[in-house]
C-alpha cells in the first residue's frame, strides 16, 4: 500500500513540486480498526518530506480524511502571514489501491505530548507555563491571520449553540437534568444579550497531541479533520486547557492520595468522584475550577485570551457548557461519550446558581 502511494506521488512529483520519495516510517495508527494509519515519506537522504494518511482498511475513514482536506484548503485560503508555516499544505486527496489517501506537507517539531509525559514535566510550574504561553501565542497568531468576527452572545447562541443542543438531544437523549440545564442556559443567553463573543476559523482539536513544539515555540499544528469556520473561537482556547488537565493523573507521578506537584487535584477528584469513574473528569474540573498553581496557570491563560478577543470572562459558563456538549458528540466512542456527558452533568451541578454579576454583562 505504501509503495502504491509513493508511485502515485512519483508520477505527479513535478505537479506537486515534490522530490522523489520513498517509504519512511509509520508515526501513528488509530486504535479504531476503522481509523487511519499515518506515515512519513522521505527523500533519498532520509529527510521527511510529506505525510500520508490512509484508512486502515478499504472503504474506511474516508469522511475524516475528506474533512481534513477541506479544512486545510479552507484555512489556506487565508494569507496566514504569521501562522502559515505551522499549518500543513494539502497536496493530494485520491483513492489509491481502493483506499482514500491524504498527503500533506511535513511540519517541524515534536508533539507537546512527548514532553508532557516526560517525568516531572507537568509537576513543574515553569515548564507548564511555557507550554501554555506557546499555545496561547500560536492561537493569537492564527486567529489574527484568519480574522475573528465579533457577534453578540445572542447571535452565537442562534447560529452555534442552539443547533448543537438540537444535535445533542437527537443523538444522546435528554434527561431531566439536561432539560433543566437547557432552561438555565436560555436564561444566561438572555442575560448576556449583546455581550460580544468571537467567531472564526478553528482547529477543533487543539490538544497536546496535535501541537508540535520546536523548543518553546509552536512549530506546527496537525490533524485538522475537525477544523471549520465560522465557529466559536473559544473552542480552541478551551480544548488546549482541557486536554492538558485531563491527563495529569497519567503524566504526574503519584504522591500519597494525589499527584506530585498537584495537591489540589485529589480534592477535586474526591469531590466529584460520585459523578463518574471517567479519569479525565477530575483533571478537567481541576484545570478550570481547582485550587493551586496549575489552575492559576489555566486562569491566566484564559484571561489573556478573553482580553485579547474582547469578551468578558463571565461568558465562560455558557460557552464551556457548549464546549463540553460538543465533545459529547465529537467521538463515536462510548467511553468518551459517556465520560463527557458525566462531565456536563457535573458542570450543570457546579453552575446551578450561576448568574452573571459584572456590570459589563448585565442590562
Report which secondary-structure segment, H or E, holds 150. Answer: strand 149-152
Residues 119 and 97 in one domain: no
Q: Which residues pair with 150 in a beta bridge?
A: 198
Cα–Cα dist 180/50, whole Å: 50
CATH number of the domain residue 29 falls in: 3.30.200.20
Residues 168 and 41 in one domain: no
Question: How many other CB atoms are there within 10 angstroms of residue 62's CB atom?
Answer: 16
Residue at which a domain ends, from 58, 79, 105: 105
Cα–Cα dist 298/314, whole Å: 16
Cα dihedral 78, 217, 202, 332 sign: positive
Residue at which a domain ends, from 70, 105, 140: 105
Residue 243 DSSP label: H
Residue at which a domain ends, from 105, 125, 151: 105
Residue ranges making up the domain that contains 228: 110-350
Give pLDDT, residue 359: 45
Residues 123 and 193 in one domain: yes
Domain presence at residue 122: yes
pTM > 0.75: yes
Of the CA atoms within 13 Å of residue 330, those in its CB half-sphere come to: 17
Residues 121 and 249 in one domain: yes
Crossing angle of helices 176-192 and 162-172, rounded to 10°:
180
Domain presence at residue 269: yes
Asked whether 41 and 51 are in contact (CB, 8 A), the reply is: yes
Per-residue pLDDT tens listing for the chain (363 residues): 777 787 777 777 777 777 777 778 888 887 666 678 898 988 888 888 899 998 776 666 578 899 999 999 999 999 999 999 999 999 999 888 888 999 999 999 999 999 999 999 999 999 999 999 999 999 999 999 999 999 999 999 999 999 999 999 999 999 999 999 999 999 999 999 999 999 999 999 999 999 999 999 999 999 999 999 999 999 999 999 999 999 999 999 988 889 999 999 999 999 998 889 999 999 999 999 999 999 999 999 999 999 999 999 999 999 999 999 999 999 888 999 999 999 999 999 999 988 886 645 554
Long-range Cβ contact pairs of 36-43 (< 8 A, separation 24 or more): 36/60, 36/61, 36/64, 36/65, 39/2, 39/5, 40/106, 41/5, 41/6, 41/9, 41/103, 43/19
Residues 37 and 139 in one domain: no
Cα–Cα dist 293/17, whole Å: 48
Q: Please give the tally of structural domains in the chain.
A: 2
Residues 31 and 147 in one domain: no
Cα–Cα dist 220/112, whole Å: 10
Residues 306 and 320 in one domain: yes
Q: Which residues pair with 40 in a beta bridge?
A: 51
CATH number of the domain residue 255 falls in: 3.90.1200
Residue of 104, 109, 95 whose CA lies nearest to 70: 104
Domain presence at residue 216: yes
Grid coordinates representing 146 are: 484568519
Residues 293 and 341 in one domain: yes
Residues 257 and 121 in one domain: yes
Cα–Cα dist 31/38, whole Å: 12
Residues 100 and 115 in one domain: no
Domain presence at residue 360: no
Amino acid at each position: 500500500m505504501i509503495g502504491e502511494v509513493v508511485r502515485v506521488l512519483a508520477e505527479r512529483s513535478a505537479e506537486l513540486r515534490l522530490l522523489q520519495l520513498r517509504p519512511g516510517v509509520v508515526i501513528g495508527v488509530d486504535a479504531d480498526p476503522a481509523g487511519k494509519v499515518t506515515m512519513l515519506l522521505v527523500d533519498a537522504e532520509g529527510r521527511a518530506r510529506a505525510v500520508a494518511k490512509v484508512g486502515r482498511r478499504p472503504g474506511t475513514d474516508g469522511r475524516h480524511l475528506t474533512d481534513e482536506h477541506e479544512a486545510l484548503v479552507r484555512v489556506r485560503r487565508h494569507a496566514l502571514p504569521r501562522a502559515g508555516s505551522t499549518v500543513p499544505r494539502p497536496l493530494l486527496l485520491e483513492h489509491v489501491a481502493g483506499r482514500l489517501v491524504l498527503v500533506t506537507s511535513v511540519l517541524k517539531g515534536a508533539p507537546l505530548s512527548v514532553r508532557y509525559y516526560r517525568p516531572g514535566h507537568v509537576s513543574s510550574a515553569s515548564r507548564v507555563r511555557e507550554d501554555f504561553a506557546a499555545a496561547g501565542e500560536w492561537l493569537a497568531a492564527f486567529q489574527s491571520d484568519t480574522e475573528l468576527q465579533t457577534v453578540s452572545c445572542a447571535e452565537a447562541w442562534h447560529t452555534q449553540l442552539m443547533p448543537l443542543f438540537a444535535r445533542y438531544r437527537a443523538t444522546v437523549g435528554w434527561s431531566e437534568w439536561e432539560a433543566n440545564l437547557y432552561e438555565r442556559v436560555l436564561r444566561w443567553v438572555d442575560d448576556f444579550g449583546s455581550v460580544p463573543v468571537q467567531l472564526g476559523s478553528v482547529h477543533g482539536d487543539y490538544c497536546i497531541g496535535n501541537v508540535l513544539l520546536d523548543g518553546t515555540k509552536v512549530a506546527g499544528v496537525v490533524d485538522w479533520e475537525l477544523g471549520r469556520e465560522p465557529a466559536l473561537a473559544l473552542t480552541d482556547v478551551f480544548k488546549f486547557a482541557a486536554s492538558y488537565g485531563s491527563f495529569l493523573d497519567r503524566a504526574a507521578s503519584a504522591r500519597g492520595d494525589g499527584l506530585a506537584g498537584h495537591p489540589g487535584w485529589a480534592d477535586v477528584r474526591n469531590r466529584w468522584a460520585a459523578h463518574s469513574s471517567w479519569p479525565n473528569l477530575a483533571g478537567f474540573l481541576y484545570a478550570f475550577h481547582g485550587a493551586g498553581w496549575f489552575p492559576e496557570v489555566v486562569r491566566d491563560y484564559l484571561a489573556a485570551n478573553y482580553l485579547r478577543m474582547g469578551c468578558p470572562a463571565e461568558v465562560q459558563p455558557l460557552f464551556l457548557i457548549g464546549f463540553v456538549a460538543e465533545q459529547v458528540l465529537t467521538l463515536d466512542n462510548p467511553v468518551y461519550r459517556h465520560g463527557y456527558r458525566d462531565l456536563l452533568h457535573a458542570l450543570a451541578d457546579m453552575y446551578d446558581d450561576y448568574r452573571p454579576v459584572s456590570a459589563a454583562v448585565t442590562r
